[in-house]
Amino acid sequence: MTGITVGTHPKGAAAGPEGALVGLYDSAKLALVAPDNPSVFISTNGRGANAMAYWQGLAYMVHRDSNSVSVIDLANRRQINTLAVGGMPWGADAEADRLYVASFAENAVNVFDLVDHEPIATVSVTSQPALVAAGNDRAFISHLNGSISVVSADGALLDVFGPVTGDDAFGIDIDEVRNRLYVGSRNAKSILVLDSQTGVELTRYQLSIQPFALAFNSATKQLHVVDAVNNRLLTFDTRTGEQVSAHFIASQNADHGGQGLAVWDNTIYVAAYDAGILEIFDGGECAISTPTPTATPRQTATATAVRSPTPRPSATPVPTWTPTATATRTPTRVPPTATPTRRPTSTPTPRPTATPTTTPSPSPTATPTQQPSIIAKIEIVWPHGGAPVSEAKLANITAHLYEDELLNPVACAFDQPVRLWTTLNNAPARLTAIGQPRQVKENGRVFTVWDFNDIDVSAANDPQNVLNFFVTVDGYATRRNIWTHGADARTHSPQQDTPSDVTHNLPPAIDAKIEIVWPHDNAPITEAHYANISSILFEQDTLKALGSGVLPRPPVRLFSSVNNGINKERQQVPLGQPRVIDGDQFDYLVWDFNDIDISAANDPDNHIYFWLEVEGVTSATNIWTHGASGLTMAPEQDVPARSCR
């Protein structure tokens, strides 16, 4: 997935070989996002950009506030014509030299010939026409009263389907090869599949969310659906009716967003109204991220609903180093739902505690840059007996290992030790368990998973506590996700550690701790684009910092991941700059990471996880989570792209 900033309030979207076409509502400009080229912005003479349509090198921008359509020549980057339409035009689509525009306030559909841009007819339809899906010889118009109007290419009203269950119809698209019409009902939380010739209901996808824009992908026979309330892009296999993926997308705004969705050449474009960006998905991504359809828990536990309220974090402090500054308060997530598809929710930001006395275990090796890369993802956490977070004592955890981001699994006989690490609040990670391999079969694919059974999660019974889990693989530079488990919504504000002493030699084992995150200009999380981050290295299990005279000064890297994603490759990760702090009793070193991109957290549904690695010495890290909102996230379990070999 790629995200590109396009400007304030992108609303409608269309696509063609020239790229994605995004209408910016406030400025009424067209953002042309072309492959491998900078975005181009084209002005129009209309007001209020609503829907977008494309046909043979021309873009059509519907203007709600000026009752017009701008015709834009994409090759020459300019507007060449203006078409007059009815009051408050909303949806539009173009196909086979025809443009259909739904005029919401006039209960009409305007039909234009796109050869000469002359009007063919103004068709009176039932009330509240909204969105449009055009076919070769007719168009289908959804109505908020639940009806679907069928208008011919010569401007005749052919039929009226419905009203559909829920008495509202909104998102709409067509599969002309199979004569199927897909209609979303937000009130009924469903998608109806109709025979496009007769209007007969063939089947229905019952959802747990409100569907907004729909787009059929003819290359994959998949239907893509925007969930503007929870900011997700859902994908369904129309041959089976099964949901095959759910991807988090940038903030939409359910009142005004959720309408900018387009597909071209197996590429999916989603306009995020609130976030001001266009997100681009390869159609293959939506086919790979497949949820597990049925429960396959280990015998010692069952999947449980882990319920956790969502905190509301506050702004971070101004960027001036002081020993007692208060750190950013941000939410984290908790796992899973009552099925193997995990549904983590936000939990409080960790607060520092005294470092535990657990015996340290190896983390990075002395030569990490020479290690091959592997991906290790925690996929599910199963509290025993279905207990809630406040009562669960033990849980089973399962992780997958992948060779690459295409989700190709490791070899069936992969035998390197797989380690589970845990952090409690802001304390550094400690080794918790060694995984036990188990071969499974899901969706016809055979692969190996690693189980960590009977893991102590009782610390999370205290609502002040939060546990973070991650997995590493011996001998590999492990790219990982972070899984967080906790139960209480109260936000905790950790204090920075104050070194008790210094060590004048590089110790054999280190606790590497992020101490503070400083957004530039004290910007709030939803606006800050960059931050400075400071960390301290301690002799493990102490608060003895590295003294200013310690040589050599070890390289320290700052890793990060977003939501349920994994971190970047090591060579793409920034190195910290050592700096001496002049204390009253002794001088010690801190490592600074300046101008770190935190713009992903501008979307209140995103959370950025930070952690450290110290090269050339055994080290353990804490986990720092940065985000602006505690909204529930619902990542799906990954299923490998193929069987193991």
Chain segment 343-379, per-residue pLDDT in tens = 233 333 333 332 333 333 344 433 344 689 999 999 9
| The predicted structure's pLDDT at residue 66 | 96
Q: How far apart are CA 301 and CA 392, in angstroms?
A: 11
- Tell how many helices (H) and how many strands (E) occur in the chain: 1, 49
Whether 572 maps to a domain, the answer reads yes
Whether 156 maps to a domain, the answer reads no
Query: Domain total for the chain?
Result: 1
279 pairs with which residues across the strands? 3, 270
Residues 242 and 256: beta-carbon distance below 8 Å:
no
Domain that holds residue 369: 295-645
Residue holding tokens 């929710």?
345
Whether 484 maps to a domain, the answer reads yes
**Pair of tokens at residue 538:** 């301690």
Whether 252 maps to a domain, the answer reads no
Q: Which DSSP string do the residues of 51-105 spell out, in sequence order? A: EEEEETTEEEEEETTTTEEEEEETTTTEEEEEEE--SSEEEEEEETTEEEEEETT
Whether 543 maps to a domain, the answer reads yes
DSSP state of 286: H
Range with lowest mean pLDDT among 326-335, 419-428, 478-487: 326-335
Whether 421 maps to a domain, the answer reads yes
CA angle, 115 as apex, 110 and 116 as ends, to 5°?
Answer: 75
Model confidence pLDDT, tens digit, residues 34-71: 877 778 999 999 999 999 999 999 999 999 999 999 99
Residues 590 and 579: beta-carbon distance below 8 Å:
yes
Q: How far apart are CA 136 and CA 153, in angstroms?
A: 8
Mean pLDDT, the chain, as a whole number? 84
Whether 93 maps to a domain, the answer reads no
Terminal C-alpha separation, the chain: 28
Name the nearest CA neighbour of 512 among 623, 625, 365, 373: 623
| The predicted structure's pLDDT at residue 126 | 95
Phi and psi at residue 626, in whole multiples of 5°?
-125, 125
Residues 247 and 1: beta-carbon distance below 8 Å:
yes
| The predicted structure's pLDDT at residue 343 | 28
User: Is residue 630 over pLDDT 60?
Assistant: no
Global model pTM greater than 0.95: no
Residue holding tokens 């985000």?
627
Whats the size of the chain, residue-wise?
645
**Pair of tokens at residue 293:** 């359809």
**H or E element in which residue 245 lies:** strand 243-248
